[in-house]
Amino acid sequence: MTTDAADAFAAAYGDSPDGVWAAPGRINVIGEHTDYNEGFVLPAALPQTTRVAARRRTDGRIRLTSVQGDCRVAELLLAELAPGAVPGWAAYPAGVFWALAQAGHPVGGADLAFSSDVPTGAGLSSSAALECATAIALDELFALGLDAPARALLAQRAENDFVGVPCGALDQMASSCCVAGHAFFLDTRTLTGRQVPLDLPAVGLSLLVIDTRVKHDLGDGAYAALRAGCERAAELLGVRALRDVGIGELAAAEQQLPAELRPLLRHVVTEDQRVLDAIRLLDAGEPRGLGPVLTAGHASLRDDYRVSCPETDLAVSAANAAGALGARMMGGGFGGSVLALVDTDRLEAVERAVRAAFAGAGFTDPFVFPAVPSQGAHRIA
């Protein structure tokens, strides 16, 4: 099989790779801003993947190139990798080499060439796809014998400690562990999960991703402030994390917090409950019931967590007005993508309505595509 990554490999290194691997981007059906509160998430893998063509080296050298990273080749030495030492996109794959070496795995150098159709910076986890593709390639090239969750946690370590992005485990666990036709219910405290059937085509439903293609700048600082607010609330309530506050204890717990922390608590506790509600609906064979759960999740992110923005609010309201069963923003917030649950025969009408609403508001035309729950990281050639 020839792949675009193998072509990029041949163009950069003038030879053929030992193998080609792919890792997907992801959606998150429900469970937003719960992962750093040790709560629940329900991601599913996208059909869009990052492919890596890779060849093992024995001299400790690392060469990296990406079609999306302007095709220049970054050259590094495994022994010299250190957090902060690698600029730009190459830090994500370099961080995976570093995390593997730090954990004592006998990884060596390698030549890697990437190509991807995962939209970047859209809340669909292109960064995790890049890391998880690297992790599975190195695992197999060096016969490390890791399983999917172990690769995910090393990829998360790369992003946290090498790239310097304080993300939870959601993105990497999803990209590594998801199974086609399923969502992946993950408890981010225990890092245990289970596959939940999400065969929407069988019941005439589709999940539609609306990438607003905007990212408002206040994002990064706001994320840190929200995390700090949640930690402070947990401390004041005397619990390890907000996950420990049950839905039945919510009203009493709110009374123990200063006014500015109450909405954060409300979002996290009700969002964990929405994940459990979603699982119950899916297990009961009632996927249509997910619609109102998504829309309630959006209202909570907009009104309590306050991470929505005009573009995501408009995508949700326009989709619902055009007959979607429900919709919500995904990801950290301040832009990124919206997920809508739609009767398959209404897909085109919903897409048209959202694009018309965006045009009317003077917003950038969104990138709209259906998300079919797909396979986690795997070898393709």
Tell me how far CA of residue 293 lies from CA of 174, 272, 287, 288, 351, in angstroms: 21, 11, 10, 10, 21
Mark whether 303 is an active-site residue: no
Catalytic site residue from 171, 187, 220, 343: 171
By C-alpha distance, which of 316, 282, 264, 312 is closest to 44? 282
Choose, by CB under 6 A, the member of 126, 175, 206, 320 that binds ligand ADP: 126
What residues from 61 to 80 belong to the interface with ligand ADP (CB under 6 A)?
66, 68-69
The residue with tokens 């730009």 is 88
First to last CA, the chain: 6
Kindly report the number of other CB atoms within 10 A of residue 85's CB atom.
Answer: 12
Output the CA angle 90-333-288, nearest 5 degrees: 115
- Residue keyed to tokens 């690769």: 151
**Residue 127 binds to ligand ADP (criterion: CB under 6 A):** yes
Nearer to ligand ADP, 34 or 337 (CB): 337
- DSSP assignment letter at 374: B
Helix, strand, coil share of the chain (percent; to 5):
50, 25, 30
Site string for ligand ADP, 33-62 (x = CB under 6 A): -----------------x------------
Asked if 156 interacts with ligand ADP (CB under 6 A), we say no
Q: Which is nearer to ligand ADP, 67 or 357 (CB)?
A: 67
Consecutive H or E run containing 337: strand 335-343
Q: Which does 5 bind (CB under 5 to 8 A by kind): ligand ADP, Mg ion, none?
A: none
9, 21, 92, 358: which one binds ligand ADP (CB under 6 A): 92
- Interface region with Mg ion, contact rule CB under 5 A, candidates 119-127, 140-148, 173-181, 297-305: 119-127
Contact between 116 and ligand ADP by CB under 6 A: the answer reads yes
For the beta sheet containing 192-197, the strands, ordered from the edge strand earlier in sequence to the opposite edge, are: 40-41, 182-187, 192-197
Minimum distance, C-beta of residue 171 to ligand ADP, in the bound complex (Å): 7
By rule CB under 5 A, what string of x and - marks binding of each residue 123-162 to Mg ion? Answer: ----x-----------------------------------
Site residues (vs Mg ion, CB under 5 A): 127
Site residues (vs ligand ADP, CB under 6 A): 50, 66, 68-69, 89, 92, 114, 116, 120-127, 130
